[in-house]
């Protein structure tokens, strides 16, 4: 998978989709852990622990239903659904 430029990142910034294999395993794990521990990512519909949520997001990234996006303006990475990126 190649890196591609997308719009639809936070605040409408342009970002780069980063293939998960471009990150070290430790960086990928840390990014996902930070993502699932953010306020607002636990909808209350599930009682999964952090390990289960990390595994769930990892599966979504590997399947391509969620993607890692680097926002060049804010210099931050985020995980967005592929559907959100199509909008």
Average pLDDT of the residues in 7-22: 73
Q: How many domains in the chain? A: 1
Tell me if residue 55 falls in helix, strand or coil: helix
Contact 4, 16 (CB under 8 A): yes
* The two structure tokens encoding residue 72: 């060049």
Residue-wise pLDDT for 16-28, tens only, equals 999 999 999 999 9
Amino acid 1: pLDDT: 43
Separation of alpha carbons 1 and 12, rounded Å: 24
Q: pTM surpassing 0.85? A: no
Block residue for tokens 């910034």? 13
State the CATH number of the domain containing residue 75.
Answer: 1.10.10.610
Rounded-to-integer distance, Cα 79 and Cα 68, Å: 5
CA dist 3 and 47 (Å) reads 34
Please give the pLDDT value at position 57: 94
Range of the domain at 63: 4-39+46-86
pLDDT tens digits for range 17-76: 999 999 999 999 999 999 998 866 554 556 778 899 999 999 999 999 999 999 888 899
């Amino acid at each position: 998978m190649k890196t591609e430029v997308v719009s639809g990142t936070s605040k409408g910034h342009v970002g780069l989709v980063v293939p998960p294999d471009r990150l070290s395993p430790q960086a990928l794990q840390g990014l996902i852990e930070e993502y699932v521990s953010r306020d607002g990512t636990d909808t209350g519909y599930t009682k999964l622990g952090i390990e289960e949520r990390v595994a769930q997001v990892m599966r979504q990234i590997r399947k391509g239903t969620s993607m890692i996006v680097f926002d060049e303006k804010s210099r931050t990475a985020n995980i967005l659904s592929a559907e959100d990126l199509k909008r």
